[in-house]
């Protein structure tokens, strides 16, 4: 039986292990918190720091394949493991390009992949010289995550809000739609694309409101998205699962925002809504099986269940019974003991032939279901 390891034990690892339960595979997880969401679903759990060379190297040695849950892993250790014959998804070289937003943007530019125009800034002093480039968005090179590490700089009065660290200043895009395109690619270079997902943001809170898949797109835009996402993945030269996040601007241009080299929040609906989920697909790739079928069985939407503002401590779920009474609704609670404002505690998938039903239920669930302490 092949031995597969996951670096990080959060919800992505948990859902990957749920899919792994169907295959002949022995699973290993490393994470510093022994009560993390994935800990009790794997065959072997190791306490360790995914950013530490020795911890990652020791964990990976002797495994057949390794994957990641989060980009902030020690890629030097992954590189050494790769040299010693462990298959790493994504390849450490692709991870290195993506992990640093400066290298990521330069990769798009060199590969002629459309992306918002940008300037590299080394510090705040540098940023202050770029008044003529505004309005723009400043992004920290390393360590940004879930919106931290991104700052909108509309005018020169906002320049002080930028990062005093190496980063990129990107032209502000007039966004019409935000799309995520998940692509699977195996060792032989064969690819499969999932139907694109539209991410709908709450204009007041600037938070992801819900997602809907397949996104409502004219064919011309869909083809651009598919071609661009394929170019990104081919250019990264690595097997695995990739989530390419794109903007469709008000002129109908398609620009790459960023890429995640792993299973992604925008693909959770594929568990119920598509023949092969993103988790099933990654296992097929790691275990050297044929790629699965990415087609959707039914359209779907996802609502993320975030810790409510003002509540920290042991998580308590309000409204679950009412949500579970609804048809075609699937609840995923990640099993995190402690809630914090904005923490990802679970998600709800809704499937339906009827798009109105998807948005209606998404809004209703957002109102009913709360995570408090
Ligand atoms: P993170 O990796 O933290 O999610 P992103 O790079 O995806 O950061 O940016 C977060 C959000 O900021 C995006 O979803 C988008 O709404 C907005 N954003 C990012 N870049 C731009 C841009 N160049 N123009 C306009 N809005 C942007």
Q: Which is the closest atom of ligand 1 to the Cα of 255?
A: 23
pLDDT of residue 93: 98
Q: Is the pLDDT at 206 greater than 80, yes or no? A: no
- Cβ(178) to ligand 1 under 6 A? yes
The protein residue with its alpha carbon nearest to ligand 1, atom 23, reads 172
Q: Is the pLDDT at 85 greater than 80, yes or no? A: yes
Residues 6+ apart with CB under 8 A from 154: 134, 135, 172
208 vs 298, residue with greater confidence:
298
Residues 6+ apart with CB under 8 A from 231: 111, 113
Q: Which is the closest atom of ligand 1 to the Cα of 149?
A: 3
**Mean of per-residue pLDDT scores for the chain:** 96
Band of the pLDDT at 143, cuts 50, 70, 90? confident
Q: Are 198 and 177 in contact (CB under 8 A)?
A: yes
> Can you tell me the distance from the alpha carbon of 28 to that of 323, in angstroms, rounded to the nearest whole number?
34
Query: Tokens 């002629």 label which residue?
Result: 112
Q: Helices 11-20 and 278-286: crossing angle, nearest 10°?
A: 70
Q: What is the mean pLDDT of residues 204-228?
A: 91
pLDDT of residue 59: 98
pLDDT tens track for 319-347: 999 999 999 999 999 999 999 999 999 99
Band of the pLDDT at 98, cuts 50, 70, 90? very high
Topology match between the domains 2-89 and 175-372: no
> Can you tell me the distance from the alpha carbon of 236 to that of 59, in angstroms, rounded to the nearest whole number?
25
pLDDT of residue 205: 67
Q: Is the pLDDT at 204 greater than 80, yes or no? A: no
DSSP string, 210-261: EEEES----HHHHHHHHHHHHHHHHHHT--EEEEEEEEEETTS-EEEEEEES
228: its two tokens = 């661009």
pLDDT of residue 113: 98
The protein residue with its alpha carbon nearest to ligand 1, atom 14, reads 178
User: What are the boundaries of each domain within the chain?
Assistant: 2-89, 117-171, 175-372
pLDDT of residue 54: 98
Q: Is the pLDDT at 245 greater than 70, yes or no? A: yes
Strand partners, 307: 371
297 in the Ramachandran plot: left (φ > 0), alpha (ψ -120 to 50) or beta?
alpha
> Can you tell me the distance from the alpha carbon of 17 to that of 19, in angstroms, rounded to the nearest whole number?
5
Q: What is the mean pLDDT of residues 130-150?
A: 90
CATH class of 2-89: alpha beta
Specify the fold of 175-372. D-amino Acid Aminotransferase; Chain A, domain 1 (3.30.470)
- Cβ(71) to ligand 1 under 6 A? no
> Can you tell me the distance from the alpha carbon of 167 to that of 41, in angstroms, rounded to the nearest whole number?
38
pLDDT of residue 144: 79
DSSP-assigned letter for residue 10: S
Q: Is the pLDDT at 231 greater than 70, yes or no? A: yes
> Can you tell me the distance from the alpha carbon of 366 to that of 358, in angstroms, rounded to the nearest whole number?
12
Specify the fold of 117-171. Dna Ligase; domain 1 (3.30.1490)
Query: Tokens 């994935």 label which residue?
Result: 38
- Cβ(146) to ligand 1 under 6 A? yes
3-state SS class at 243: strand
How many residues make up the chain in this entry? 373
Q: Are 170 and 163 in contact (CB under 8 A)?
A: no
> Can you tell me the distance from the alpha carbon of 52 to that of 54, in angstroms, rounded to the nearest whole number?
6
3-state SS class at 264: coil
CA distances from 104 to 67, 112, 194, 256, 265 (A): 20, 12, 23, 11, 20
Q: Is the pLDDT at 372 greater than 90, yes or no? A: yes
Q: Are 371 and 308 in contact (CB under 8 A)?
A: yes
- Cβ(168) to ligand 1 under 6 A? no
Q: What is the pTM of this model?
A: 0.97
């Amino acid at each position: 039986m092949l031995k597969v390891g996951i670096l990080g034990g959060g919800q992505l690892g948990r859902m990957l292990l749920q899919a792994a339960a169907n295959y002949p595979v022995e699973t290993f997880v490393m994470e510093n918190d022994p009560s993390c969401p994935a800990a009790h679903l794997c065959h072997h759990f190791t306490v360790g720091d995914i950013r530490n060379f020795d911890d990652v190297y020791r964990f990976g040695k002797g495994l057949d394949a390794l994957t990641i849950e989060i980009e902030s892993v020690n890629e030097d250790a992954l590189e050494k493991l790769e040299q010693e014959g462990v298959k790493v998804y994504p390849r450490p070289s692709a991870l290195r390009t993506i992990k640093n937003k400066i290298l990521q943007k330069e990769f798009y530019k060199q590969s002629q992949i459309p992306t918002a125009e940008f300037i590299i800034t080394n510090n705040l002093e540098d940023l202050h010289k770029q008044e003529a480039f505004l309005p723009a968005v400043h992004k920290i090179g390393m360590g940004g995550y879930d919106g931290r590490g991104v700052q909108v700089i509309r005018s020169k009065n906002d320049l002080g809000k930028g990062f005093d660290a190496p980063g990129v200043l990107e032209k502000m895009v007039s966004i019409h739609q935000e799309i995520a395109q998940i692509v699977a690619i195996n060792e032989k270079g064969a690819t499969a694309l999932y139907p694109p997902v539209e991410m709908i943001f709450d204009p007041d809170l600037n938070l992801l409101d819900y997602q809907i898949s397949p996104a409502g797109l004219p064919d011309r835009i869909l083809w651009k998205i598919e071609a661009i996402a394929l170019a990104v993945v081919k250019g990264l030269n690595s097997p695995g699962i990739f989530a390419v996040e794109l903007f469709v601007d008000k002129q109908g241009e398609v620009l790459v925002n960023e890429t995640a080299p792993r299973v992604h929040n925008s693909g959770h609906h594929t568990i119920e809504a598509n023949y092969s989920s993103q988790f099933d697909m990654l296992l097929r790739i790691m275990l050297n099986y044929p790629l699965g079928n990415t087609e959707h069985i039914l359209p779907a939407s996802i609502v993320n269940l975030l810790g409510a503002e003002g509540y920290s401590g042991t998580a308590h779920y309000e409204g679950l019974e009412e949500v579970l009474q609804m048809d075609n609704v699937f609840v995923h609670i990640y099993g995190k003991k402690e809630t914090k404002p904005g923490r990802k505690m679970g998600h709800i998938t809704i499937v339906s032939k009827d798009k109105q039903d998807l948005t209606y239920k998404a809004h209703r669930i957002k109102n009913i279901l709360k995570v408090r302490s």
